[in-house]
Amino acid sequence: MNTTELKNRGIFGLIFVLILYFGTSYSSMLCSILFAVLGLICLYEMWHLREGKSKILALAYVLIPFLSIQDLIWNYLSFSIYDTQVWMSEFILSLLVLTWTFDTFAFLIVVKYGKHKIIPSISPKKSWEGFVGGLIFTFIASSIYFRCFLENSMEETLIWSLILAITISFTASLGDFIESAYKRQAGVKDSGNLIPGHGGVLDRMDSLMISMFILNILFRLLS
């Protein structure tokens, strides 16, 4: 990756993060609109990835998670983690940050230490070393979130951080593998080119797909 590509990746990655931050921080309505737009873009990109091929499962892979996000936003406007009240839109933002923490550190560790590939036929860069490293850093980031922002006790922090880190690591990896399989079948590197240095919106959201679906199920079971 040359200097220009790295610069584009940094600048447009920051812009995308800021859009998500402001879109999830101010109101449930704005958060809902933001994810509706992102969902439509992801559906468009997946439709083109599956051009000339069966589309039902591929579109369901995109549609169900984004419907799950809308369900979480409007049916669980806020919830309690022990004695702390948390707005769902802000919690979704924290999940995005934690998911990207896993992706980022898994990638960095793969570059230096990745030797044992997970599914090389689908995603040759994913390794078990990266998975474990990403999980550890996600646990650390989760601990900071629960301890510093939600002011949970140390015991509560460790329990929730471990649950989130394990869940996000597995669901983020699964979501990424599914999209990688679709891109490999389409013979392309990225789902689109809307975000310079990153590819398409689906390339940025793929790790979140399964996480949102699982989270929706958990909230329904616990409510």
pLDDT of residue 47: 94
Query: How many residues make up the chain in this entry?
Result: 223
pLDDT of residue 8: 67
Mean pLDDT of the 138-167 span: 78
The highest-confidence range among 107-116, 134-143, 158-167, 208-217, by mean pLDDT, is 134-143
**CB atoms inside a 10 Å sphere around CB 165:** 23
**Rounded-to-integer distance, Cα 205 and Cα 64, Å:** 13
- Answer yes or no: is pLDDT of 141 > 60: yes
The two tokens of residue 69 are 């996000």
Q: What is the mean pLDDT of the chain?
A: 81
What 7-11 contacts at long range (C-beta under 8 Å, 24+ apart), as own/partner pairs, is 7/197, 8/196, 8/197, 9/196, 9/197, 9/198, 10/197, 11/197
- Answer yes or no: is pLDDT of 63 > 90: yes
Strands (E), the chain: 78-81, 84-87
| pLDDT tens for each residue of 103-128 | 888 877 877 776 778 887 777 778 88
Phi, psi of 194 (to 5 degrees): -70, -30
pLDDT of residue 194: 78
Which residue has better confidence, 219 or 184? 184
Confidence of residue 30 (pLDDT cuts 50, 70, 90): confident
- Answer yes or no: is pLDDT of 62 > 90: yes
Terminal CA-CA length for the chain: 47
Q: What is the pTM of this model?
A: 0.82
Mean pLDDT of the 123-146 span: 85
